[in-house]
Amino acid sequence: MLSLSELTVKKEGFSALVMGNHALARAMAEAGTMVITSYPGSPTPEIAEALQAPPEAARAYRFEFAVNEKVALEIAAGAAVNGHPAAVFFKSVGLNVAADSLIQLPLMELAGGLVVILGDDPGANSSQNEQDNRWFARMGYFPVFEPASPAEVYVMYKEAAARARELRAPVLLRLTTHVCHAREKVNFGPLPTAAPDWTPRFDAKAGPYVPITSAVFPLKKRALEKLDRWAAYVEKTPLNAVHNAAAGGRRLGAISAGLPALCLLEAVRTAGAQVDVLKLGLSYPLPAGLITEFLRSHDEVYVLEELDRVMETEVKALAYDRGLACRLHARRDHHELMGETSPERARAALNEVWPEQFPAPVKRAAVLPAARLPQMCPGCGHRSAFHAIKAALPPGAITVGDIGCHSLGFLPPYNMGEILLSMGHSVSTAAGLALGNAARKVVAFVGDSTFFHAGLPGVVNAAARDSDITLVLLDNGTTAMTGHQPRPGNGELGERLSLPEVLKSLGVKFLRECDAYEQGKLAGFMKEAMEHKGFAVVIARHPCMLKFMRDRRHAGAAVKTQHVEVDQGKCARHYTCAADFACPSFIRHPDGSVTVNPELCIGDGSCIQTCPAKAIGRGK
């Protein structure tokens, strides 16, 4: 089996069963993409995993994680204006962070071409919303490629990169969660034989590159003309194709793009339905000629898409403009605008309009067992911090969460961090909650990676205004949620930065720091911080124990884990360990007793201090 470290450096072509994210990494290498950047976020981190697998010396490309999506995008854009083929990838909501610079790119001559890869998340599998980033293409004049499977990711990236370079333009490659994470056999080609040309080719005369006042209009005109060239291209590319199944009689058709199009095809085949499918790989600009012809040759057409009514609106406008008599159908209610499309959902939607072609959905009445909510790992410093802080909070305190593993604190039994907007929002949202509020204490949480990502401006603002809030900086030294990517200053990336020094230099006057396992000390610091009038910061640090244990295992260290044990003679059945501290390692038996699951306990011992009966101790 091919090892991941060969994927982007193996010179000859080969076939392998790979996930979409890995197929993309190979496509980047084959396309001769020279600069690739990212900020980690599901569903895209495995792209980086593949790009980073071979040693740096063996790679023909440079890959960098940046401090946030905007910085990542700007690095890629800088490379592209210098003539170097570039790509950047991040999750759906990462686009919001990058948007300020991203929106400018179609105005620029990007000599190397730039592919912006979006990991959209219909179904909100790992995001705070399921925003439909196809809208952004309309706002910024970007073409959109929408692959439906790993094999299509591979083909479409290469095509997108080649056309981007030819048009000296940016392109959006929109992936969705189950395209990124799907696995199938892909036939790969060879790597380019020529070495990358790193000559810096930035030429101010190729611009202008400064879109100020009157310069904006020629730039906008050029961007619109490029979009016209894309509009011609989408009519003839084989990525947009009709799959015929209709017979005589009433001619039925459906239009779709990306994974929903495959769901539609599967639904048509399973039902043996006589419906032609126009599957779009390049969904914007819409191929007006192709669609007009499809509408002309069918009596009824269903526009099946996922999330918002983007294509539907445009297809209807087109039908109106051309005076077409084809009857158009689309999804009917709000429920259908939410969540992922599946072959079953496609079939249910089509059953509503063509019941003779598609069987009605069968409701499955299954009784589900107890829910299993995500939770922090055994030994997690966040659990210890939340347990201590919860005890220190006065009644009525408002806690503001942020993005990262500690977001899970809002779940029972902690219920900490009860409002969440976006990366790094917590400090400023808390500052707003504290305005004119003398009655309720306001506490914000932020993780160390998010602090650098987008938390810094909020901290600078809160320090300058001396906002009357307490910020708890939960420092685990890594970007844990997305798989332990390095963050600036953690020692893996650049010089090690001291968080207290950074905070002091930003003007933070009240500052305390301890290990998150020191629960008594942390609770004391919290009380002091909340009594302090003005901005107070408490750092609760503890390394991510998932990473710590993994690193220790990989280093081959022969350390015997010393699990904790519950002394059954002392246990007074308070259940603080199992229910309130709530480490997953504790087992509460039907007879009321509590024991420790040695499969889960990592021997960290952060629970020992939580037992009122002092019944928890280290095993022999």
Binding site for another protein (CB under 8 A): 1, 17, 19, 42-43, 125-127, 149, 177-178, 181-185, 259, 262-263, 265-266, 269-270, 272, 342-344, 362, 364, 366-377, 405, 408, 411-413, 481, 546, 556, 575, 578-579, 582, 584, 586-588, 597, 599-600
Nearest to 43 by CA among 63, 22, 62: 22
Closer to another protein by Cβ: residue 179 or 463: 179
Shortest distance in whole angstroms from residue 19 CB to another protein: 8
How far is residue 89's CA from residue 48's CA, in Å, rounded to a whole number?
A: 9
Q: Between vectors from CA 458 to CA 453 and to CA 462, what angle results, nearest 5°?
A: 150
Q: Which of 395/590 has CB closer to another protein?
A: 590
The CA angle 404-408-411, to the nearest 5 degrees, is 160
- 5 contacts 52 by C-beta, under 8 angstroms: no
Tokens representing 494 are 């650049």
Peptide bond preceding 147 in cis form (omega within 30 of 0): no
* Least Å from the CB of residue 611 to another protein: 15
Shortest spacing between CB 324 and another protein, in angstroms: 30
| Residues 358, 347 contacting (CB under 8 angstroms) | yes
Question: Which residues contact residue 292 at a Cβ distance below 8 angstroms, ignoring those fewer than 6 apart?
Answer: 318, 322, 324
Q: Between 104 and 342, whose beta carbon lies closer to another protein?
A: 342
249 vs 272 by CB, closer to another protein: 272
Residue 207 and residue 218 in contact, taking contact as beta carbons nearer than 8 Å: no
Closest approach of another protein to the CB of residue 540, in Å = 18
Strand 144-145 and strand 282-284: the pairing is antiparallel
Question: At closest approach, how far in Å is the CB of 483 from another protein?
Answer: 9
Residue closer to another protein, measured from CB, 139 or 362: 362
CA distance 76 to 63: 10
Contact call for residues 593 and 568 (beta carbons, < 8 A): yes
Pick 437 or 593: Cβ nearer another protein: 593
Judge whether 294 and 342 are in contact, CB under 8 Å.
no
Specify the residue, 532 or 588, whose C-beta has the smaller distance to another protein: 588
Residue 39: DSSP 8-state: -
Q: Which residue has the tokens 């079953």?
A: 344
Task: Tell me the closest approach of the beta carbon of residue 69 to another protein, in angstroms.
Answer: 18
| Nearest distance, CB of residue 584 and another protein, angstroms | 6
Tell the smallest beta-carbon distance from residue 588 to another protein (Å).
5
